[in-house]
């Protein structure tokens, strides 16, 4: 954030006219104050023309229309400003001409970037752009990787690129940027907060000219694309007071503009908060598919949550985040905190790619542990495409361990673990899971990899100080031939204690992810040998929703001693759907793991989730099928918890519940245990009108027990937990707005021991 002495600012403002005269007294060509604070157009103040502000929800598909993300005067340089969301927001205007820019030009704007793009195609995330790369015409003025910034100018024969690398733009604070071109001297100058920070002579050959294509604010003119849907090279952050002036400017003219802009604020740009930069939850009001009580970011794309820990009364959870929109790219670490693992609050980005030689190309998945003094420590996959392999383990610690939010994290400057030849399949080395062995007072690190010619595995490393790691070999491996895809890298390894087996020996569960599906083994971990011996070689699917529950992470909750697992609930939507929605994916409910008396895994949503229960809608006990079915049929809703205990008759049948039922069952999603087939399944044949997702599920034998089923419905999210032995996570996207009914699936002679339904709380995180 720039600050000027107020008196000096006023003096500079008073001299602005003289400065502009010295620069040629050139008239302004265009100015966008971005002061509207409502609507989908912005006034170009020189001509009075109204230009279109493009935004995904101008014509919303899954929710009511809403205006672009205008910000109030208190957050802006003048009366208002605009938050560009990084993927859908830009302003389009008619092209400028050679006649208008024949004497040169000065481009300027106030910008507050929230994050920095990867720089796809070598292009800027443009503040202002009217550029044709093939014809080498026009200009593109914007920000590049890591906050470097500059301008490209087309001269016909060549494209000149003038870039500032030593005075990078800060995130989440205002900066004034300006670029000036003087054709008479063929000089380009760049200014930051009124100070000239770069000057470069253009090549002697070639002539500057403008292409016949629209002028854009907030996006490069010819952006790279993903899937023909998402346009990259787009600015993310606030922008205000965008100007295009005819003629070149010098430092005195630019500093005069800066001073004049800041004069009403006593020479100081506003200090920005997280609320200024984040997309408020209210933006998505009316979205019939966006979950309300599952953890998810303010907007955009997330993948697996990871690195949970508890510290000084708060839980922390991080996640893979693309702040630029709902698509996979440009990975940062998002950050949530909570007092109960239920109501989460999103904090600023914790870790971002930086020009540090460590993690320049992505902050990929990892975990958390505690140092010897109890301070939390993060471990992450440091992506660096210039290194070989391009995956290493990085480490980060809090900037201030006294901060209750732990909002700021600093990276250790060098990798803490490097893959060497002969240690796993070279080039496959990611997703470190770090935990402390209390008896040996040492830490273990598991890193996802694979064995050449064998199966995937987790490589084990051991340390006494978290900085120096000794390789201990693979944790375990299997014969992958009977199990397709298990020769691939075992991603996201997790090892957690779950209790004692029938032989009295302590057991651990080892989880991983293979092709977007979580699997597990139960077995014995021997710390002395750093080896895990599974009780059976065959991997088992953790969840039978077939790919919707993935990306496992976990920790031992120090408050309760429970082993708890987090996951991502995949979205199953097209790129076009995700573009239109503005969000992609959410976290699954936190799951507590334990070992049953039979030596098998038990899993259940954590008890704290009861805090989300609102009004109880049904509380039925010892009832017949008809009575229970009638009670369910009278309810409607898309945010519910359903708890069913049913005593089955000997008749083979499908028993469970239907959700998102439309009149006449034109749409419905069925969750049930099929006693004839011995399976837990979801039938989505009628989930979406005109489209069938079919039936998914997995083996489940009820045996002589009652059926105990808990179903969590959260708009598009469906999770079912049966007898604490099986879970099924899936999605439902009904096309009909009235697909909000419920139904009971049962057989004649069944008895409903208990049926309870609660309305579940609204948004569980604050922005």
Q: pLDDT of 156-173, one tens digit each?
A: 999 999 999 999 999 999
Is the pLDDT confidence value at 19 over 60? no
pLDDT score recorded for residue 12: 37
Q: Element (H or E) spanning 261, and its range?
A: helix 251-262
Mean pLDDT for 462-489 is 97
How far apart, in whole angstroms, are the C-alpha atoms of residue 253 and residue 654? 77
pLDDT at 438: 77
Quick count: other Cβ atoms within 10 Å of Cβ 369? 22
The mean pLDDT of 453-464, rounded to a whole number, is 97
Record the pTM: 0.95
Do 597 and 726 fall into the same domain? Answer: no
**Helices assigned H by DSSP within 582-672:** 625-633
Q: What is the pLDDT of residue 25?
A: 53
Q: Are 236 and 324 in contact (CB under 8 A)?
A: yes
Angle made by CA atoms 404, 405, 409, in degrees to the nearest 5:
115
Average pLDDT rounded to a whole number, residues 409-418 = 98
Q: What is the pLDDT of residue 762?
A: 57
Residues 56 and 128 in one domain: yes
**Mean pLDDT in residue range 63-70:** 98
Three-state SS string over 402-441 comes to CCCCCCCEEECCCCCECCCCCCCCCCCCEEEEEEEECCCC
Pairing label, strands 563-569, 391-398: unpaired
Residues 174, 304 within the same domain: no
What are the DSSP calls for 320-336, one per residue? Answer: EEETTSSSS-S-EEEEE
**Is 481 part of a structural domain of the chain?**
yes
For residue 765, name the pLDDT band (cuts at 50, 70, 90): very low
Phi, psi of 100 (to 5 degrees): -70, -35
Element (H, E) at 160: strand 159-164
Q: Are residue 268 and residue 378 in the same domain, yes or no?
A: no
Q: Say which CATH number the domain at 316 has.
A: 2.115.10.20
Number of domains comprising the chain: 3
Q: How buried is residue 470: exposed, middle or buried, by Cβ count under 10 Å (0-12/13-18/19+)?
A: exposed
User: So what's the pLDDT on residue 764?
Assistant: 37
The angle that helices 251-262 and 6-14 make with each other, rounded to 10 degrees, is 120
User: Is it the case that residue 2 has pLDDT exceeding 50?
Assistant: no
Given a cut of 50, is residue 9 above it in pLDDT?
A: no
pLDDT of res. 1: 40
Is residue 73 domain-resident?
A: yes
- The whole-number pLDDT of residue 689 equals 83
User: Same structural domain for residues 691 and 567?
Assistant: no
102 pLDDT band, cuts 50/70/90, is confident
For 31-98, the three-class secondary structure string (H helix, E strand, C coil) is: EECCCCCCCCEEEECCCCEEEEEECHHHHCCCCCCCCCEEECHHHCCCCCEEEEECCCCEEEECCCCH
Is residue 7 over pLDDT 70?
Answer: no
Q: Summarize the chain as % helix, strand, coil (round to 5).
A: 10, 45, 45
Whether pLDDT at 286 is above 90 = yes
Domain end, chosen from 560, 582, 605, is at 605
Structure tokens of 113? 């970037």
> Is residue 135 a part of any domain in this protein?
yes
Q: Which domain holds residue 668?
A: 613-766
Same-domain pairing of 596 and 654: no
Q: Are 210 and 98 contacting, i.e. CB atoms less than 8 angstroms apart?
A: yes
| 287, 627, 686, 739 from 662: Cα distances, Å | 18, 21, 10, 4
Domain assignment of residue 416, yes or no:
yes
Where do we find the tokens 């609507």?
Answer: 39
Record the tokens describing residue 451, joined without a space.
Answer: 């064995």
Q: Can you tell me the mean pLDDT for 524-538? A: 97
Decide if 547 is inside a domain: yes
Choose the final residue of a domain: 242, 277, 312. Answer: 277
703-724, pLDDT tens digit by residue? 999 999 999 999 999 999 999 9
Judgement on whether residues 257 and 307 belong to the same structural domain of the protein:
no
CB 764 within 8 A of CB 342: yes
Contact 216, 92 (CB under 8 A): yes
Per the prediction, the chain carries an average pLDDT of 94
620/648 same-domain check: yes
531 closest CA partner among 444, 628, 618: 444
| pLDDT value at residue 441 | 82
Residue 275 CA, distance from chain mean position = 17
CA 375 vs CA 311, 350, 366, 417: distances in Å: 8, 16, 17, 20
Instruction: Tell whether 165 and 40 lie within a shared domain.
Output: yes
Residues 271 and 319 in one domain: no
Dump pLDDT digits (tens) for 208-235. 999 999 999 999 999 999 999 999 999 9
């Amino acid at each position: 954030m720039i600050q000027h002495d107020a008196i000096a600012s006023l003096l500079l403002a008073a001299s602005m006219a003289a400065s502009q005269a010295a620069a040629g007294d050139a008239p302004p060509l265009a100015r966008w104050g971005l002061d509207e604070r409502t609507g989908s157009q912005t006034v170009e103040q020189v001509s009075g023309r109204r230009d279109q502000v493009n935004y995904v929800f101008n014509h919303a598909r899954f929710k009511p229309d809403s205006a672009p993300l205008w910000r109030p005067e208190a957050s802006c340089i003048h009366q208002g400003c605009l938050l560009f969301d990084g993927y859908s927001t830009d302003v389009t205007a008619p092209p400028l001409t050679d006649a208008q820019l024949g004497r040169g030009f000065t481009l300027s704007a106030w910008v507050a970037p929230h994050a920095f793009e990867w720089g796809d195609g070598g292009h800027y995330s443009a503040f202002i752009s009217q550029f044709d790369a093939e014809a080498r015409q026009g200009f593109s003025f914007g920000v590049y990787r890591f906050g470097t910034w500059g301008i490209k100018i087309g001269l016909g024969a060549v494209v000149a690129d003038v870039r500032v690398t030593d005075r990078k733009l800060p995130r989440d604070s205002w900066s004034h940027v300006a670029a000036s071109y003087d054709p008479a001297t063929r000089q380009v100058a760049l200014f930051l907060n009124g100070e000239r920070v770069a000057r470069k002579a253009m090549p002697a050959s070639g002539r500057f000219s403008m292409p016949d294509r629209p002028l854009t604010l907030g996006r490069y003119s010819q952006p790279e694309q993903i899937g023909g849907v998402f346009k990259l090279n787009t600015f993310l952050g606030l922008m205000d007071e965008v100007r295009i002036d005819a003629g070149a400017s010098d430092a005195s003219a630019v500093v005069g503009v800066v001073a004049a802009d800041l004069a009403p604020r006593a020479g100081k740009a506003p200090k920005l908060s997280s609320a200024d930069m984040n997309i408020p939850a209210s933006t998505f009001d009316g979205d019939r598919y966006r979950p309300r009580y599952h953890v998810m970011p303010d907007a955009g794309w997330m993948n697996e949550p990871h690195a949970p820990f508890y510290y000084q009364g708060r839980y922390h959870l991080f996640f893979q985040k693309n702040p630029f929109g709902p698509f996979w790219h440009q990975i940062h670490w998002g950050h949530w905190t909570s007092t109960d693992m239920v109501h989460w609050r999103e904090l600023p980005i914790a870790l971002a790619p930086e020009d540090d030689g460590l993690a320049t190309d992505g902050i990929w998945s990892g975990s958390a542990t505690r140092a010897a003094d109890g301070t939390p420590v993060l471990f992450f996959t440091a992506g660096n495409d210039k290194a070989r392999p391009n995956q290493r383990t990085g480490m980060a610690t809090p900037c201030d361990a006294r901060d209750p939010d732990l909002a700021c994290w600093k990276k250790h400057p060098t990798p803490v673990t490097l893959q060497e030849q002969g240690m796993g399949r070279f080039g496959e080395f990611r997703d470190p899971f770090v935990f402390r062995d209390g008896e040996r007072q040492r830490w273990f690190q598991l890193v996802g990899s694979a064995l050449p010619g064998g199966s995937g595995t987790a490589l084990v490393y051991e340390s006494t100080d978290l900085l120096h790691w000794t390789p201990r070999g693979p944790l375990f491996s299997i014969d992958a031939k009977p199990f397709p895809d298990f020769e691939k890298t075992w991603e996201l390894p997790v090892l957690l204690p779950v209790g004692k087996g029938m032989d009295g020996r302590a057991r651990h569960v080892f989880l991983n992810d293979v092709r977007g599906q979580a699997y597990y083994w139960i077995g014995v971990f021997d710390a002395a040998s750093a080896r895990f011996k599974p009780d059976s070689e065959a991997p088992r699917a953790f969840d039978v929703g077939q790919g919707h529950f993935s990306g496992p992470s976990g920790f031992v909750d120090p408050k309760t001693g429970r082993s708890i697992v987090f996951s991502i609930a995949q979205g199953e939507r097209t790129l076009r759907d995700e573009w239109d929605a503005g969000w992609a994916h959410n976290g699954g409910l936190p799951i507590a793991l334990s070992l049953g008396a039979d030596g098998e895994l038990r899993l259940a949503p954590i008890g704290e989730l009861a805090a989300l229960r609102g009004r109880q809608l049904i509380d039925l006990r010892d009832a017949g099928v008809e009575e229970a079915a009638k009670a369910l049929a009278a309810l409607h809703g898309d945010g519910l918890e359903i708890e069913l205990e049913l005593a089955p008759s000997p008749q083979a049948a499908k028993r469970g519940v239907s959700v998102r039922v439309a009149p006449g069952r034109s749409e419905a999603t069925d969750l049930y245990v099929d006693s004839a087939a011995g399976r837990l399944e979801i039938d989505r044949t009628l989930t979406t009108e005109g489209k069938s997702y079919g039936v998914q599920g997995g083996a489940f034998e009820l045996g002589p027990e009652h059926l105990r089923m808990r179903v969590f419905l959260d708009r598009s999210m469906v999770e079912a937990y049966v007898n604490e032995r099986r879970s099924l996570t899936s999605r439902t996207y009904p096309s009909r707005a009235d697909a909000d009914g419920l139904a009971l699936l049962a057989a004649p002679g069944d008895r409903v021991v208990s049926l309870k339904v609660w309305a579940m709380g609204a948004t569980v995180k604050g922005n």
